Structure 1
């Protein structure tokens, strides 16, 4: 440090003593904190400028550059002592004797060196310099905040980013495939979704993402996929949210084409072979060498096994060999979504984001997907409200509530038990703290005006002030759905006799079907996708006429129909109250709001545009629309799509209390077990009632999968 002192004395021969001491102390004590010469300039530049006002800012910066260089040359050259030198004492000194004046003032002991505290330095500038130094130190210790101004669908976010991670990202030295997001703030318009939340995803684990409808689960997935939240650039992310575009590409080829590296190598191989066949003998060597390299690369990625792997994935998701050869434009939207899922499974990204993947699948495909994902090698982050799916697939659960993300180890069943136990303990702790506070408060109130107890009261008041803030346990409100009462009808209610139906005579969809339902029926229809479940519902509704046979319905039968494509039937530009008024005019706003309130669409939520509602909230609005005519029979096609688990439980309770009959198509095993008394299996053009219920059907499906 002596070289720095000499430089300052040389450049500032008339420097004030106080300024010199301040600058030298900063160089002695804080030199390790200066990462650049700019940091040094921010710390002492103001003081050096005051020492010699004739020097410009550029002159001061140049001096700071020279000081910074000297600091780095001598940073390890001194330790302890005075002015960089150790002082050895001739004999031990007793501080008590020194304090009593036994050591004379003329003694040059380092323990008695005193400074003149009088200062002629501008104190405001000195304080400003200290603040700048502290700001620099805080900036190094803390992380920076990344603000995202424009993100998908009006959502905005900010997150805390560690400076070390930024350096590793810019230098390309970050090789970790873990995702670590800290202090995330997310909002959608003026609605806050997350505040100070942390999300840690360990590579290779499978995370189930749960929470109530409308809290922002899908929004967070979209932000991760768009990299609006900072994810290391070397981590590949894939979000299955859009169906595959329909064109002339066969389904199998559509899956293979998503492996860009394999496709590029195949094209290069084809081009090289074409050149070799037309080239002269002298040019063959370089082309042959490159072709050999291409074959090695293809062998390394197992390009020859790709078609078999793609076909296996498609088959598991319900695509027959004939379907795999069909062009993508021939498939419906639901099957194109399956195709998008197949492409994602084939690609194997480092982070796979899935949003309700079971919504588009039948029970056979769900069981296959559960088995397939259990051996998934990378990270999965999946939003799902299927408890049994999460029990089978998830290794961890991320729970969104109260604008925070809580992480739990284990599947959904473990999470549910752990959370209930945690809430129970929190309630106990809250009650104990409240009782302790009340006990102290009683003492304070009793002796507040007692002079003899004044000291004790003051002590209790201070103790009360020091206690942590008492916060009650936040309990999520219970979800309650209520269907309106209906009139009872005497049988027969609804039946199909010897029904035959087909779209073309070459392929008969139903042949001699005989089924019936009454007011206490709770029937679930299951079967493979494409077997005709939705067509059977339309025949029961009377929307399509049978080719032969008969449909019988009670003359006072009023059917409430819930379509799995209910969103397409809602006017997204209106709010929920306006939607009911447009469909069923003539009632007051209170009537419409009361009907919506039966399904949890209350307050401000009922006045928001339907387009801004989550999928589950739109489903609740559709339930309200369905109930406006007070139906006495429900036909429901996949009613649990987009509903959270609490709402599915509430739907099951409401259907059990409903006085009319119920027929539904669903793949949610928990709901089926909760309400259904009868199971209809649609397969091979016939409808059969399975005595063993859902357990018997699952055994049949599992046996079929194993045989394939």
Structure 2
């Protein structure tokens, strides 16, 4: 049964985000919505929720349809409220008085620990804030659920629980999901919409299979376009020959035929549609300046502690050598970021507990992108840190997906995806030979993730990284360190950790 019908929908702001979009949303649909950053995904969800007015086309909703829309960010006025009160406030006054038990049911289903339920949202992690937003929407019993980046800030365990929760939803409640987490999309969707400025495509498949089908469809479009242009070219050649013969012989019939062939060629050319070419949101090119050192980093049974001095684990004897792409695995709070920060301090000379080769040229990015100053502009940051002229700076910024209009905007006003690409650019310009990456794919779209994967592998970049993106860590890692209890163990594969993490309670 169709509950939402989208017909010839289009939105144009400064550019066309999407156009002539036709889509039906029916019960049992689990739709993955995929596009590069800034290409209209959130705008489309806003249109479906009735919060944004489309430029063209129509959206027809079933009578009385209740749309549940889980946005990316908690409203500022909610941050002082406790998680429990925020969810309770989503109910009507009468429901809140007589049916407040429903809050307990929803929070239990989402496995929110009791000790967190009565803490203010501003004291909770981004992951728990997102869980609170989901609970506040689900308690209203929507007929359709719209999720905008639901896995942002969630660790692997919480992502697994979210997958289980979505799988247990009533089949008659369709879900539309924006996500850049490929493994999550594969686990939770049965249809995929690739949103484009023109000719968006829908496949009755989860992401990975749909991506293969999309590539095949684009290749067919490319062949069709080339064939149409070739036919038009042949018609024009025939017309030119007939014209010469007609002029020389004075034959009006041949000249008429020439005109007909030319008109057919023109119609073919006008109707020929080039295959979609993804306008890259910016290339990420990481380089490796090289070093002669065998061991870049040496950990001699280093203790890793919490900020207040409590021992989390010891590293044992560990080395990071050239070409190592080490993925650091561990439960949330196990101390992954603490080890990254410890090595970063050693690389900057602020700590000597970790031994670093003198020839290391490091580059560091943390999950909050704190290396970017919100008060700077991309232009002032690049020209201030690197010896490149204004014209070159604008060129490299544009190549990183920061448009001319955004280059003089405060970094704090940029989107998460734009900040992530800017951070990658700043690292690249340092020409490093060792990368410390804490959640580098946060906010990066799928295109950006794949570009980062390709660059790390192609250039044999040496790195130590933390990621909750299963596809990313599986593709990139060639060594794996697992924080298992009080020890840091090297394992052959991430799969035992991933399966154990997913099964954790």
TM-score (ref. length: structure 1): 0.61
107, 130, 134: which one pairs with 1:310? 107
How large is the RMSD of aligned CA atoms in angstroms? 3.3
Alpha-carbon spacing, 1:204–1:384, altered in 2? closer, same or farther (3 Å): same
CA distance in 2, matches of 1:610, 1:330: 25
Q: Deviations over 1:203-231 (max 9, x none)?
A: 43111111122222223334444522367
Residue of structure 1 equivalent to 2:231: 436
Report which of the two structures shows the higher radius of gyration computed on alpha carbons.
Answer: 1
279, 284, 307: which one pairs with 1:503? 307
Uncovered stretches (5+) of structure 2, i.e. residues with no partner: 54-58
What's the CA shift for 1:662?
0.4
Q: Deviations over 1:86-142 (max 9, x none)?
A: xxxxxxxxxxxxxxxxxxxxxxxxxxxxxxxxxxxxxxxxxxxxxxxxxxxxxxxxx
Say whether residues 1:401 and 2:196 are aligned partners: yes
CA distance in 1, matches of 2:36, 2:357: 39
Residue of structure 2 equivalent to 1:630: 431
Please state whether the residue corresponding to 1:510 is helix, strand or coil: strand
Please state whether the residue corresponding to 1:494 is helix, strand or coil: strand
Residue of structure 2 equivalent to 1:361: 154
The 5 A counterparts of 1:575-614 are: 576-582=378-384, 584=385, 586-593=387-394, 595-596=396-397, 599=400, 601=402, 606=407, 610=411, 613-614=414-415
What's the CA shift for 1:586?
4.8
CA distance in 1, matches of 2:347, 2:276: 50
Residue of structure 2 equivalent to 1:15: none
What's the CA shift for 1:477?
5.1
Q: Is the 8 A contact 2:314 2:488 kept in 1?
A: no
Q: Greater relative contact order: 1 or 2 (C-alpha under 8 angstroms, separation 6 or more)?
A: 2
What's the CA shift for 1:678?
1.4
The 5 A counterparts of 1:48-87 are: none
CA distance in 2, matches of 1:620, 1:445: 51
Q: How many residues align?
A: 483
Q: Is the 8 A contact 2:326 2:477 kept in 1?
A: yes
Q: Deviations over 1:493-545 (max 9, x none)?
A: 2233333323346x533346553312221111122222222122111211799
523, 526, 535: which one pairs with 2:338? 535
Say whether residues 1:524 and 2:327 are aligned partners: yes
272, 275, 286: which one pairs with 1:473? 275
Residue of structure 2 equivalent to 1:25: none
Alpha-carbon spacing, 1:369–1:425, altered in 2? closer, same or farther (3 Å): same
Alpha-carbon spacing, 1:591–1:429, altered in 2? closer, same or farther (3 Å): closer
Say whether residues 1:220 and 2:44 are aligned partners: yes
Q: Is the 8 A contact 1:512 1:686 kept in 2?
A: yes
Between 445-454 and 325-334, the greater mean CA deviation after superposition: 325-334
The 5 A counterparts of 1:224-373 are: 224-225=48-49, 227-229=51-53, 232=61, 234-243=65-74, 245-247=78-80, 249=82, 251=83, 253-254=84-85, 257-258=88-89, 260-261=91-92, 264-265=94-95, 267-268=97-98, 307-313=104-110, 315=111, 319-324=112-117, 326-373=119-166
Q: Is the 8 A contact 1:246 1:328 kept in 2?
A: yes
Alpha-carbon spacing, 1:327–1:508, altered in 2? closer, same or farther (3 Å): farther
636, 641, 651: which one pairs with 2:452? 651
CA distance in 2, matches of 1:391, 1:212: 18
CA distance in 2, matches of 1:266, 1:613: 38
Alpha-carbon spacing, 1:185–1:611, altered in 2? closer, same or farther (3 Å): farther
Alpha-carbon spacing, 1:700–1:186, altered in 2? closer, same or farther (3 Å): same
Say whether residues 1:209 and 2:13 are aligned partners: no
Say whether residues 1:185 and 2:10 are aligned partners: yes
Residue of structure 1 equivalent to 2:56: none
Alpha-carbon spacing, 1:540–1:573, altered in 2? closer, same or farther (3 Å): closer
Q: Deviations over 1:626-683 (max 9, x none)?
A: 2333222101111112222222111111112335520111122222122211122234
Between 440-449 and 595-604, the greater mean CA deviation after superposition: 595-604
Q: Which structure dedicates a bigger proportion of its chain to helix? A: 1
Residue of structure 2 equivalent to 1:697: 497
Residue of structure 1 equivalent to 2:363: 560
CA distance in 2, matches of 1:414, 1:247: 43
Q: Is the 8 A contact 1:258 1:347 kept in 2?
A: no
CA distance in 2, matches of 1:328, 1:440: 68
Alpha-carbon spacing, 1:512–1:654, altered in 2? closer, same or farther (3 Å): closer
Say whether residues 1:663 and 2:464 are aligned partners: yes
CA distance in 2, matches of 1:629, 1:549: 23
What's the CA shift for 1:560?
0.7
Residue of structure 2 equivalent to 1:38: none
Q: Is the 8 A contact 1:527 1:682 kept in 2?
A: yes
Uncovered stretches (5+) of structure 1, i.e. residues with no partner: 1-175, 269-297
Please state whether the residue corresponding to 1:398 is helix, strand or coil: strand
What's the CA shift for 1:471?
3.0
CA distance in 2, matches of 1:248, 1:214: 31
What's the CA shift for 1:599?
3.8
Alpha-carbon spacing, 1:439–1:492, altered in 2? closer, same or farther (3 Å): closer
Residue of structure 2 equivalent to 1:129: none
CA distance in 1, matches of 2:399, 2:226: 33
Alpha-carbon spacing, 1:182–1:676, altered in 2? closer, same or farther (3 Å): same
Please state whether the residue corresponding to 2:22 is helix, strand or coil: strand
Alpha-carbon spacing, 1:321–1:497, altered in 2? closer, same or farther (3 Å): farther
What's the CA shift for 1:359?
2.2
TM-score (ref. length: structure 2): 0.84
Q: Is the 8 A contact 1:447 1:454 kept in 2?
A: no
Alpha-carbon spacing, 1:454–1:604, altered in 2? closer, same or farther (3 Å): farther
Alpha-carbon spacing, 1:259–1:685, altered in 2? closer, same or farther (3 Å): farther
What's the CA shift for 1:375?
3.5
What's the CA shift for 1:236?
2.7
Q: Is the 8 A contact 1:255 1:343 kept in 2?
A: yes
Residue of structure 2 equivalent to 1:168: none
Between 672-681 and 337-346, the greater mean CA deviation after superposition: 337-346
